[in-house]
Amino acid sequence: MLQHKEHEVLRTCVLCRKQSDKTLLHRFVLKENGVAEDEKKVFNGRGVYLCEVCFKADPFTTSTKLYQRIVRKKKL
């Protein structure tokens, strides 16, 4: 009997554009009080993803670019 492989869900880091498995990335969404990390990946709304390298980069640069990307996606 054939065994089915688990489907690997890929997402792209919004800063460096590197594709990785969804479980290895940090997800962020736009909430009423700003950008929030969705650690359990359950918040409603469109999310954006960051890889570990970009997540650990300079917080000010990362948060500014991240906010711009989320707002731009929300308008689409």
Residue-level pLDDT at 40: 92
Residue-level pLDDT at 1: 57
- So what CATH class is 10-75? alpha beta
Token pair listed for 51: 């890889």
pLDDT string in tens for the chain (76-residue length): 566 677 889 999 988 999 999 999 999 988 888 888 899 989 998 888 999 998 888 776 777 777 777 777 665 5
What is the spatial distance between Cα 27 and Cα 22, in angstroms, rounded to a whole number?
Answer: 9
Token pair listed for 16: 């460096």
- Domain extent listing, the chain: 10-75
- Residue 60 phi, psi dihedral angles, 5° rounding: -65, -50
The number of angstroms, rounded, from the C-alpha of 66 to the middle of its chain's C-alpha atoms is 9
Instruction: Identify whether the C-beta of residue 50 lies closer than 8 Å to the C-beta of residue 14.
Output: yes
